[in-house]
Chains A and B, each alone.
Chain A
Amino acid sequence: MSTLELSKGMPDRLPARSGFRFYAFIATLVAIFFLGMAALIASDYRRYATRAELQLGHFAELYSQAVDSSLAIANLEMEKVLGLLPDNAFEGTRWVDDDYSNWIRGEIAKIQQIDSFVLLNPQGRVIWATAQGLVGQNLSDREYFKKAKLLDTGRFAVDVPILARGSGRRLTPMAWPLRDEDGELRGVAASSLGEAYFEDLLNLEEMQDGLHVEIITANGEPAFVSDVPPEVAIFSATRRIPSIGLEATVSMSRAMAMQGFWQRTIVIVLVATGLFITALGAAIQARKRSVLLTESLWRSEFDRRRINAAKTEFDTIFDSVGDGIIVFDETGSLRRANLRARALLDVSNDAQAVQRIRGLIPALSRMTADEEVHRLSLQDGDDPEAEIPIQCRVMRLHLHGEDIAYCVLEDVGSQERLVAARAAFITSVNHELRTPLTSLSGALDILQARFAEAMPEGAAKLITMASRNADRLLVLVNDILTLQAIDQKQLNITVKPVDVRHALNEAVTTNSSYGSAREVRLVVSQPEIEAHVLADTTRLQQILSNLISNAFKYSPKGGQVVIGAECQGDKVRFFVRDDGPGIPATGRGQLFERFTKPIHSRKVQASGTGLGLAITQELVIRQGGEIDFATRSAEDGEEPSGTEFFFTLPRADAQA
């Protein structure tokens, strides 16, 4: 079951959920925002327009009322003046003396609304006027005269404005009928409203700048126009002035009406757009974040599944391992044991397994090395009589700053039986092969030594050959058995301090007889001080014997082999030196290889198994040493020739 299969429920990637919907939503929001803004501006515009219209209407109302009431007052005052006029006033002009004129002028002057005054007789002839030039003129064709003639006392008529000669100003004529007690027309009094009058009234009303006021008479002629009219006057209000039948029109320009509107609109739009963009940005940002969050959530879910799958896989493997595995720490927060470990310890759960193993091995804190091997003997769950030999390898690991014990329990029972069987086989082969060979070789040696002279020449040669080959066979059997032991890691090496002088002496004792047969002397060169090396006694002797027998083989008759040792710091250097022919340069490279081809010429080459140096090197290395050689070869023309093999072993009593 693979990790990927377990995470099948999920797609490999997060489904690419399109941002289309989100951005469509955003676009809709933007559209709604702009529509809303437009609606807001439009309603604001209408509000402004309405306000302007209301303002204008209000003003027009105010103004027309002002004009109306002002004229009503003027009318009352005029009536008073007219009532004081003598009855004979209209019978001729001669009655009007200077005093009387002055009186009229004085009275007229009291009436603010009017500045000029004309008295007409019922026929329309001017009988008195503030402007002397008019006296005697007939104004019966004037519209105000005609209207006034038909009116009752207390009423007045207003005519279309006329342009005053000279000043060019507009004057709106007014006329009052003068009737006697019987209602008979006695005459008509006429006056005019100048533009200044309307303007004064306007000023009294504190007209706003930018307002335009027009007073229009019934026939459409303007009686008063304030200022210059605006080029485009779109807002206006008209009110009738009932007393004089005029219309007051107040208007203002768009710019005036909309003053402040645009500033307000721009500010609102800017602020609203700013807020909207901020909100939109925040929304987009939030969406991106949420997408990222979703992705990471999805990823972590995916990872979780993968981890779960891997964990399941691991657990399966962990439980199916043939060796028992227990992992725990000192605090007890980590306690794992696999199936095999629980079975070996005969417990049912992890906690019990850890408890059991902690009782069997030393505490983690008391471990001297990071790896220790303990021998345990556990009772067989199936057979209470039997005990299972267990090898417990404890490794101290450092994980997250804590020490963790990793124990591997291995049932070494079957392995040990196999080892024992193999060892028995090797021992028996050793014995069964070597015993007859020993007899054979010994018998041939004695035959050669004692009876060679009595034998025919050919027979002696054959005996020598048989003897040499019997020896060779013996060595070969030994070497093969040794190499097999090395290869199968069956070679037991037990190092302990070994006295160097003692070891050298033993090597001389064991090997000198072989040398004396070849008339080669074995000389020992002892170290200057007493020293001990860490070595396996038997294997050290084997190394020395191999090197000494090689040296003997190549030494000339009457030659000398020197063995010795010297201290070199924390090591001891052993050497075996001969004055043989040396090793030619061509053969030096593969000297320690197994079954090397003969490296000497046929004349020089001694017989051997081709395994001796390979074994020797293995033995040195297995004891923590190094081996090498120095040689001068006669074949290469180096004189004096000779070879020195040397190897080092760690000193047991090394001085710090």
Chain B
Amino acid sequence: MRILFVDDEADILELIEIALMTEDDLDLTFAPSGIEAIRRIEEEKFDIIMLDVMMPPPNGMEVLRYARSMADLNGSIIVMCTARTSPEAEQEMRALGANHILHKPFKPLGLASYLRGLV
């Protein structure tokens, strides 16, 4: 299962990498910014994209909009990672094509079972 993690916090990415290091079936890719995420999405195809919302531009919403505009990415599951926001914002994310919303803070150790549950 190919998974792309997008977050501007390097610590978070590293933590996720350590936490999921033992999971052999998960093929992990990390992008530290929206630009990098878009570049990766253009190059490869991922089963799951974990997208942080609050990032320096382009932020998660913009990346999401871009990803959904690419026809060959329609099969990907996109999970928006966000601190608790308003229902309107969540509704907007779903309208833009987000499949799930993962509320921060999440437990890195619980991520593996969460990811498997999505597929």
A-side interface residues toward B, CB under 8 Å? Answer: 427, 430-431, 434-439, 441-443, 445-446, 449, 474, 478, 481-482, 492-494, 509-510, 512-514, 516-517, 536-539, 542
Contacts and interface: CB of A to CB of B under 8 A. Distances in A.
A442 B107 contact: yes
Contacts of A446: 15, 18-19, 108-109
B56 interface: no
Given A434-B104, A446-B19, A513-B107, A439 B90 contact: no
Interface stretch (B28-36, B42-50, B81-89): B81-89
Contacts of A443: 11, 15
B18 A492 contact: no
A438 B105 contact: yes
Nearest to A440: B11
Contact of A439 (B9, B85, B86, B114): B9
B83 A439 contact: no
Contacts of B12: 435, 438-439, 442
Interface of B is mostly: helix
Interface string B89-119: 0100000000000011111111001100100
Given A435-B9, A446-B108, A513 B83 contact: no
B26 interface: no
Contact of A538 (B15, B87, B105, B108): B87
B69 to A, nearest CB: 26
A539 B87 CA distance: 9
B1 interface: no
5 contacts: A434-B104, A441-B107, A445-B19, A492-B88, A538-B87
Nearest to B8: A435
Given A439-B12, A439-B15, A509-B117, A494 B88 contact: yes
A542 B103 CA distance: 10
Contacts of B90: 537-538
B113 A513 contact: yes
A438 B88 contact: no
A516 B108 CA distance: 14
Nearest to A509: B117
B94 to A, nearest CB: 10
Interface of A is mostly: helix
B9 to A, nearest CB: 6
B107 A430 contact: no
A538 B102 CA distance: 11
A540 to B, nearest CB: 10
Contacts of A441: 105, 107
A537 B87 contact: yes
Contact of B106 (A438, A493, A536, A542): A438
Interface string B5-23: 0000101100110110000
Given A442-B15, A445-B19, A445-B107, 20 more contacts: A427-B83, A430-B84, A431-B83, A434-B105, A435-B9, A435-B12, A436-B11, A437-B105, A438-B12, A439-B12, A441-B105, A442-B16, A442-B19, A442-B107, A443-B11, A482-B84, A492-B88, A493-B87, A494-B87, A513-B110
A589 to B, nearest CB: 30
B108 A445 contact: yes
Contacts of A430: 83-84
Contacts of B16: 442
A516 B113 CA distance: 11
A474 B113 CA distance: 22
Nearest to A447: B18
Nearest to B117: A509
B110 A514 contact: yes
A587 to B, nearest CB: 29
Interface in B56-87: 83-87
